[in-house]
Amino acid sequence: MSDWLTASRNEDGTQASVLVTVALVEGSGPREAGAKMRVSLDGQVDTIGGGHLELRAVEIAKTMLMTGVNTACLERFALGPSLGQCCGGVVYLVFEPVDAGLTQVLEMLRERRQQDSWRVTALDGDAVSALFDAQTNLLAGTPMQAPAHVPTTFSRERGTHVAQDGSGRRWLIDPCLAPRAHLTLFGAGHVGAAIVRALADLPCNITWVDEREDMFPAHMPDNVRIAATDMPEEFVAMAPAGGSFLVMTHSHALDQRLTEAIMAREDGGWFGLIGSHTKRKQFEHRLQIRGVPAERIAAMVCPIGMPGIHNKAPAVIAASVACQLLMVWEEAAQAALATPLRLVSTSLPARRKKRAVHQL
């Protein structure tokens, strides 16, 4: 899903490229801290927001490649005065030549897409690139000590930032986090398939459920797990707390059963049901008879999609629902943020020692 992470490599496992990371944003900027792009002499993959900032960053990265710079560096860019961008804020970028150590880190990150990891890169002195898990275990890269104050530095709430140790040496602390947004999607018809395509490159994981195994396409996006089962209700129970649900099966009776199962989960998240206002009224009546609380029924989204979009083509519905889900997930992510991004000081002490489910 991340082009900067999956960019092609040479036969020896390395690539003549520079990884550019937004380390800090003061005021308004085109991308958030943690955004990345990969630059080679032939071009780039991904983006840090475009405009003059990105153009200047590409120039710096290519100059590093042509002159053989082999250590990371931190550069400050005032968007208004020096670059003429209307954002007007200040952006700090880290430039990291992709050497053997960073290549090892990126290889491990590719394997750990569904697990939280933290990159640590030295911004002064000798090149150091390492990857840690949440327990400060070294996973890949240069052997080194994990940063101190682990509860705040290695936490999901603490974003990408720059830390400084007791000697004044600066370090990039870059969380590479598994997506928390999860959608359990029931129904492998045309609309379900279009929604999977729309979400393929977005920061989420999808469990796609249908009893008709032959309905699933041969090739799946990396963020999709398929479940061919004649007991789809089980996957309501298996969904993570706060997870989203989307029901659009080939059967109204099955939609009803799934709706009742979803309503029974007190820890469930957003729930969308494909259908018309008439279908909603029918389901509301049946749910009321079964004693489902009124507030739970009111939270059910049916019809699905953004208001004002009436086209019923699968691709249009998918785009509309993707926007709807992104709003839900971004609101949840913002609520989890507890610490503003800023330069901080830390020290670096010693590290403390018929059912078929397919992962594609």
pLDDT digit string (tens) for 138-195?
A: 999 988 776 665 556 677 777 899 988 878 889 999 999 988 999 999 999 999 999 9
Contact 140, 105 (CB under 8 A): yes
Provide the pLDDT for residue 114: 84
Report the pLDDT averaged over residues 217-224.
91
Q: pLDDT-based confidence at 314, cuts 50/70/90? A: very high
Give tens-digit pLDDT for 334-348.
Answer: 776 544 444 433 333
Does 38 have pLDDT greater than 90?
A: yes
The domain locations on the chain are: 3-176, 182-335
Does 12 have pLDDT greater than 60?
A: no
Provide the pLDDT for residue 28: 86
Centroid of chain to Cα 304: 23
Q: How far apart are CA 41 and CA 15, in angstroms?
A: 10
Provide the pLDDT for residue 86: 61
Provide the pLDDT for residue 61: 96
Give tens-digit pLDDT for 124-151.
Answer: 988 899 999 988 889 999 887 766 655 5
Provide the pLDDT for residue 316: 97
Q: pLDDT-based confidence at 32, cuts 50/70/90? A: very high
Instruction: Look over the chain and give the mean of its residue pLDDT values, rounded to a whole number.
Output: 86
Of the two residues 335 and 203, the one the predictor is more confident about is: 203
Cβ-based neighbours of 344, under 8 Å, separated by 6 or more = 161, 162, 163, 164
**In whole angstroms, how far apart are CA 198 and each of 86, 201, 250, 325?**
31, 8, 20, 11
Report the pLDDT averaged over residues 289-316.
94
Cβ-based neighbours of 310, under 8 Å, separated by 6 or more = none
Contact 53, 39 (CB under 8 A): no
Amino acid identity at 156: R
Provide the pLDDT for residue 144: 77
**Structure tokens given for 87:** 């954002």
Does 351 have pLDDT greater than 50?
A: no
Contact 341, 24 (CB under 8 A): yes
Provide the pLDDT for residue 82: 64
Q: How far apart are CA 14 and CA 159, in angstroms?
A: 28
252-263 vs 277-289: helix axis angle to the nearest 10? Answer: 50
Does 85 have pLDDT greater than 80?
A: no
Among 349, 313, 357, which residue's Cα sits nearest to residue 149?
349
Provide the pLDDT for residue 80: 73
Contact 153, 163 (CB under 8 A): yes
- Fold annotation for 182-335: Rossmann fold (3.40.50)
Q: Tell whether omega for the bond before 349 is within 30 degrees of 0, i.e. cis.
A: no
**Looking at residue 214, what DSSP letter applies?**
G
**In whole angstroms, how far apart are CA 188 and each of 1, 168, 233?**
22, 56, 15
Report the pLDDT averaged over residues 288-312.
93
Of the two residues 85 and 183, the one the predictor is more confident about is: 183
**In whole angstroms, how far apart are CA 137 and each of 145, 152, 156?**
9, 16, 16
Of the two residues 113 and 22, the one the predictor is more confident about is: 22
Contact 182, 236 (CB under 8 A): no
Provide the pLDDT for residue 337: 58
Q: What is the pTM of this model?
A: 0.79
Provide the pLDDT for residue 357: 42
**Structure tokens given for 168:** 């004044």
Report the pLDDT averaged over residues 112-129.
90
Q: Which of 7-11, 39-43, 282-286 has the lowest mean pLDDT?
A: 7-11
Question: Which residue(s) pair with 92 in the sheet?
Answer: 24, 76
**Structure tokens given for 242:** 């706060």
Provide the pLDDT for residue 155: 75
State percent of the chain over pLDDT 90: 65
State percent of the chain over pLDDT 70: 86
Does 79 have pLDDT greater than 50?
A: yes
Provide the pLDDT for residue 236: 96
Place of tokens 């949440």: 134
Provide the pLDDT for residue 9: 56
Provide the pLDDT for residue 295: 92
